Amino acid sequence: MAMEQIIFTDLDGTLLNHYDYSFEEAKEAIEYIKISKSQSYLEIRIFFKHIKKQFPLKGFGDMSVENVRELTGLSEESAKHSMRRNFTEPFIFEGVVDLKLLKDEAEKEGLEIVKGGRFYHVISQGQGKAKAMMHLTHLYEEYFEKKFTTIALDDSENDFSMLQAADVGVLIPWPNGEFADINTENIIKATYPGSKGCNKALLEILDAS
E strands, the chain, are 5-9, 33-34, 57-59, 89-93, 111-115, 120-124, 149-154, 168-171, 187-189
User: CB burial class (10 A; 0-12, 13-18, 19+) of residue 194?
Assistant: buried
Neighbours of 7 (CB within 10 A): 24
Q: Which of 10, 12, 155, 159 is catalytic?
A: 10
SS3 category, 97: coil
Query: Using CA of residue 101, residue 105, residue 106, residue 110, what is the dihedral sign?
Result: positive
10 is catalytic: yes
Please list the active-site residues: 10
